[in-house]
Amino acid sequence: MRYSAGHKQETRERLLQSSAGQAKNEGFSTVGVDALMKAIGLSGGAFYSHFASKDELFGSIVERELKQSLERLGGHGQHDQEKLQRCLQQYLSMAHLQQPAAGCAIPALGAEISRGGVEVRQQSENLICRLHQAWAQTLGSESLAWSILSQCVGALVVARMLVSPDIQQQILASSHEQILKQLQ
């Protein structure tokens, strides 16, 4: 049976979405091609009609997820400090901590991106720099934008490493409080 070009694109998108969720929840390197395809109801052999390699899939996931993070975090256009503060509150929340598949790709995939190939790392750099520039424009300081971006990601990574929700909440709340002090 022959499928339409639209069907192939839909299948590719389902694979990207499913694989991104698995990667952000479990780590990309821990999941094999067969498991990625099984999650969308297809055999492992069908994978290669969509991607030449697992590395190519990872690059596509990183691009897709970082673009979505950029949109959510305000990297498309200027916004005011009030909007940035609402964004920071959502970012440093228990909901974001508990749902990595639905959240920012940077803390979820950052370690794997750092071990990735030059193309994936360059692509990540380009997108993160766009976010930085948007925040720098809002904050009036490139240094402050890098500092806050790093603090947000770091707080989320550390909080996800821990088991106790009380300590996780303390980390997120403390980080948010300190960032707000920097914004004054």
Look at residue 111 in the predicted model and tell me its pLDDT. 93
User: In the structure encoding, which two tokens stand for residue 7, read together?
Assistant: 């069907």
pTM (2 decimals)?
A: 0.85
Specify the range with the lowest mean pLDDT, choosing from 32-41, 76-85, 91-100, 165-174: 76-85
pLDDT tens digits for range 119-163: 999 999 999 999 899 889 989 999 999 999 999 999 999 999 999
> Where do we find the tokens 């009380």?
166
CA–CA distance, 15 with 41 (Å, rounded to integer)? 10
* pLDDT tens by residue, 13-52: 888 898 889 989 988 888 888 888 888 887 777 888 888 8
Of the two residues 101 and 4, the one the predictor is more confident about is 101
12 pLDDT exceeds 90?
no
Max distance between CA atoms of the chain, in angstroms, equals: 63
Question: Residue 124 class from Cβ within 10 Å (0-12 exposed, 13-18 middle, 19+ buried)?
Answer: buried
Please determine, for residue 1, whether its predicted confidence score (pLDDT) is greater than 60. Answer: no
In 3D space, the residue among 62, 64, 93, 78 whose CA is nearest the CA of residue 156 turns out to be: 93
Domain 54-183 sits in CATH 1.10.10.10: no
pLDDT band with cut points at 50, 70 and 90 for residue 91: very high
Listed by start position, the domains of the chain span 54-183
Across 48-71, average pLDDT: 87
Mean pLDDT for the stretch of residues 55-82: 80
Per-residue model confidence (pLDDT) at position 76:
54
Share of the chain above pLDDT 90, in %: 50
Neighbours of 98 (CB within 10 A): 13
